[in-house]
Amino acid sequence: MSEAIKTDVLIIGAGPCGLFAVFELGLLDMKAHLVDILDKIGGQCAELYPEKPIYDIPGIPFVTGHGLTEALMEQIKPFNPTFHLNEMVESIEKIGDPGFRVTTDAGQVFECKVVVISAGGGSFQPKRPPVPGIEAYEGSSVFYSVRKMEQFRDKDLLIVGGGDSALDWTLNLHPIARRVTLLHRRDDFRAAPHSVEQMRGLVASGKLDLKIGQVTGLEGEGGMLSGATVKGNDNAISKVACDTMLPFFGLTMKLGPVANWGIALENNLVPVETSAFETSVPGIFAIGDINTYPGKLKLILCGFHEGALMAQKAHRYVYPDKRLVFQYTTSSSSLQKKLGVN
């Protein structure tokens, strides 16, 4: 287990609301670390609709999910937040008044005075392919994410999917794997065009195998794969020799471990009061799509508002003896100095 990281605030979820919370907390001299189960920053905006237009961000007539994420990252740069990606918070333990010890599935421990849950509808969980008996191989030779590339060195890899994740890992892992086979149900890909072009180039040069079809069965003993049965679009059955499979069938939202954190829940959402969006546990706040209250609207702009009010209350926990004077960024020289404004 890692040595505990001490910080003022731990934010669970690095989507737009979690990112903007860094800004509001930073203005009030609170340092934040962020944990996200995804391998990238931006939450749903980055993972589910990076190119989808968003029209209701105040003052920005049009922006993509990726563009909004980029803009928020630029905005919070003065506050140097630390991100812990590919990690899921498993437990939150109360150790003070206020004070929490938070542990992730990677064994990282945080000690903080405030926790902000900004996890959208919960944690993203990979969709399991409809392959009989796949559960027996999960965690030993079937993996839904890549945390350490070295784990796949000299492996016979079968990567299944046609989106960005499947193509990105095909390109990243083929130099270190013994052999990589990419399998997709059709010869048409949803990934970035340059990635598809790179992949086809490797196939043409014989450095990569591409098969069209679907996995219908797995072979191997004791949770270790030895091969997969593939049914082609012409119904022909073939075998692919592999000792590791990476299926990328997209993500689904699940509440996940939030249900075990000792926080009151209501229909798989976290009820909060509306003066600061605090949960039933003092010092733990919930902002964005994961919270619920009378009149709640699941809009990014509402999550931004919730983050601003949350920060005001969080300041009381982090600096109990310090009087908070409300200031505007337009007129406060001290706030402008924090933002690096000349």
Residues that constitute the known binding site for FAD: 17, 36, 44, 49, 89, 124, 289, 330
Q: Where are the beta strands (DSSP E) in 220-280?
A: 227-231, 237-241, 244-247, 251-254, 270-271
Q: 295: closest CA among 318, 279, 311, 274?
A: 274
CA angle 81, 56, 289 (to 5 degrees): 55
Annotated binding site: 17, 36, 44, 49, 89, 124, 289, 330
Q: What is d(CA 319, CA 311) in angstroms, rounded to the nearest whole number?
A: 12
CA angle 222, 225, 226 (to 5 degrees): 115
Q: What is d(CA 13, CA 135) in angstroms, rounded to the nearest whole number?
A: 27
Strand partners for 93: 101
> Largest alpha-carbon pair distance within the chain?
73
Report residue 80 as tokens: 């140097």
Q: 313: closest CA among 280, 289, 282?
A: 282
Q: What is d(CA 100, CA 262) in angstroms, rounded to the nearest whole number?
A: 12
* 314, 285 Cβ separation under 8 angstroms: yes
Question: What element of type H or E holds 284?
Answer: strand 284-286
